[in-house]
Structure 1
């Protein structure tokens, strides 16, 4: 079974898949890859192979093999092509005895930086200006798989290179192990939740605080308080656009004045895949634009659709690709 898993991972890596889905159908199991955002069939497996693959993955990721009723998640490394490949294994119950497994391939930040998906140097330098701030909240927004965490960690790496500021991160789970910053993992099973960790982190004299993802109003309020108390705070947030990020935060019960005083930058981004290559497109709102919007003034900024139009005009998107993405991001 070890070789079977290694073969699947080798193929996924060669095909530049971001995720591997191992699912159960009525007569067989099936392995699918997510490539450039799309699900692709890889292979059919027997039901017996499916069960053994699931059990083996749970074993190497240090999950409870006998637990089938609740979702589980763990991380491990596997040797692929004489290199250590880090993966996250997540399970989802189907019935009392069966479950789906999804493997997320966690590329190193070096691999992410060297790929065609990363922002060009001029665009990255623009965002680097914001990491010089001594306080404020910088939000990286967009759906799952849009590259927001990659951009956030690369900006944190720039702070690490400078070496004059203490960085503490709180993550669930830790996906990239990075020297030069203190990384703390939330562990609900051990009753280590975000609230005591956040309070503890703020008592440990950080200059920069990174919180993996804003999931509810309690986290949002705590991070805004941290940013207002003299810390530079980084976090990710799921939202459709830069503007709707503000709407969603207001739905959490946050006041306009809190948002105006705390948020320094909102970046909303997507990854586009075309025949010409893969591209990150983004839109952003600065503190001035956020303030204008919350005061009810019109805000002029370059939107995701503006970026798509530019790619089409420059010949990087076909008419069909252009139509697909403009409809997708509406």
Structure 2
């Protein structure tokens, strides 16, 4: 049985998030469900929500920034904060900002489509209908169900897809949680979480060219280097190029590497970066024939990119390779000595 206190508390939380959207934290989301007989909600980034089989699901968190609230205990209690009693959404907004600062930092930015959908949801809640996002076998009075086929539409979030018999979602950029985050390690936890099994969902990064952000692009390509060493187990640049050329024998891990890092034809820029790095740092160790092949490939590549302007024209790994403007490679152990040849 839903009591008035549960309705008031749910409305306060939903409206507090609505207020935070107005302040620019538009990637902040709420996942609502019932835990036993109590209405519950999890605050989380919207990019940790996805749609699978017509139902809204919560993806495994890469950030650890999920905060759970259950409407039970004394009135005015949120998130098990026993030191305060909160009676309105504006006070709750202040406490969320002061106590969940890292979550809000990760939720900064515009997400107009999601905010528009959410405003409609808050309107429903304000009439006394509590949102439920987890499918149930039986309907609950005074609630609004949110799933495929329900009266209220699903939010505009990513959908789980299938590739190479693997479930996956494409996480939209930006991927760095904070401008203060060390971008060299910005994709490390994501790549460490990859588990190429059919019953798991992997979260692959979107190619962030459209942001025109040097930090985001640097983190993306540093992730490619980390993936090559940790997932592909390549031991050198030559080993990487040799395996890349054997498409027919590609493992699942290689197929995913190409899907992630060549989604828009951008992989050649990474290859050009590696070749230039090798020529600069280990040219004397290369056989003459291999060195000549490297020079020929780079010459042809430079001719191609001069003929056209494209989405990769800025912040790609190859531009200004002499000075390595993206500072790639610092994630590697023994970078200079181990990986060049």
TM-score, normalized by length of structure 2? 0.24
Q: Could you say which structure has the higher helix fraction?
A: 2
Which structure: larger Rg? Answer: 2
